[in-house]
Amino acid sequence: MRGDTLGMDASLRYENVRLSGASFVGVDLDGAVFNDVNLRGARLEDVSLAGAALADVDLSNVSIVDATLVGMRIEGVLVTDLFSAYNQLNPA
């Protein structure tokens, strides 16, 4: 059933689990912790990462499109400020 916890403990812990090719639809992972997780080649669509903290992540070859970047910081610098500076140096 949608929204049902199926009687499971909300503090489940999974270690050394392989879910390659899995699909998650309508899943609420609010407050979840991901440590030493491989999302290489994953596709995230219609996902909220609002308030998420990413540390020690490999973002090489990541493509971000149609994203809300308000308040997003990289190494403490607002991404909107970075784009503003880039646009001033590279006028259309």
**pLDDT tens digit sequence for 66-92:** 999 999 999 999 999 999 999 999 987
The rounded distance, in Å, linking the Cα atoms of 1 and 8 is 13
Residue that is written with structure tokens 């996902």 in the block: 47
Q: What is the pTM of this model?
A: 0.74
Please check whether residue 87 is in contact with residue 79, taking contact to mean a CB–CB distance below 8 angstroms.
no
Per-residue pLDDT reduced to its tens digit, 7-58: 555 678 889 999 999 999 999 999 999 999 999 999 999 999 999 999 999 9
List of E strands, 3-84? 73-74, 77-78
